Structure 1
């Protein structure tokens, strides 16, 4: 039997730490994310901002989306397509209709306009300070960030509990780096640790 892939081990360990992060109040973290995230958006001034629809013990992005939408920022959520494809994004703001998509994740209505976000708040399992991340294993965000970066300048902001930080994430050429990571302890500018090519 083959040993588990190093990324799979790191993913499992980081998610276990996230589940055990009882010292962090999830409501307070969601409020911090709304405040710090909207400040970052105000600084970078992207046209369209996407976030993810939170599941299980992921940090909630709903207060962030509410804050951004209330300030007039166009917001979007991802649509998960077939495995091996990038995500599609549709405009959505709190109060708009949602439908159940792949894996039971809530998504905007198919009637909502398709967009290409300029700043993405990205879920993750583990991260390091150079902006490398481990997702949930399907590669959706790596393909999505690569496709968007081939078209224009974007910003990718990982959202995680500080306990999900790992000293060094193994990475390959196709792995896409994050520009920033936002945790309950603050904002990490990954670009200043290791410049982007």
Structure 2
């Protein structure tokens, strides 16, 4: 699945990738409260890009939270991202992530847009393998969970374990799966 994602992304120029995830679809917006804190991620090269979504939600008045790790062995937390245009408030973190600076205020997202390796048409998700999102979501029940993915990441089934958290919806460049 990682290989399929990597090969697909390699065929898309960066400018096209950004356009494909330019604005959240209207049915997705219906799932998000007007005052919700939005949890996003700073995408790596192969992940569905989030820059435009981050700017979109920020301009609508939402507070933006990005994952933050004190170290690779510590649990994931979320901290406020206040500069989605210049990203001057982000620093290098574990896992090749850009994350909010250490003294950024902690936030607890109401709605999370989550990266993934694979997903099913019923909302099952295969993450990066660290279990960070599954653990955070298990500790913070009732959050809206939306996956962002490329169409090639859709699979018929996944090896699901009891701790895996099902998504409420998945957005791809061509379709919204869900809400489930």
Question: What is the total number of aligned residue pairs between the two structures?
Answer: 175
Structure with max Cα Rg: 1
More helix by share: 1
Asked whether 1:139 is paired with 2:139, we answer no
Compared with structure 1, are the counterparts of its residues 86 and 131 closer, same or farther at alpha carbon in structure 2 (3 Å cutoff)?
farther
Alignment partners' CA distance in 2, 1:190 and 1:38: 12
Partner of 1:27: 15
8 Å contact 2:120–2:154 — kept in the other structure? yes
What is the RMSD computed on CA atoms of the aligned residues?
Answer: 2.1
Q: Which residues in structure 2 correspond to 1:1-197 (within 5 Å)?
A: 14-21=1-8, 26-36=14-24, 40-41=28-29, 43-45=31-33, 47-82=36-71, 86-93=75-82, 94=84, 95=86, 96-149=88-141, 153-191=142-180
TM-score (norm 1): 0.80
Task: Say which is worse superposed, 49-58 or 90-99, in terms of deviation.
Answer: 90-99
| Structure 1 stretches lacking a partner, 5+ long | 1-13, 192-197
CA distance in 1 between counterparts of 2:26 and 2:46 reads 22
Cα drift, residue 86 of structure 1? 3.7
CA contact (8 A) 1:38 1:67 kept: no
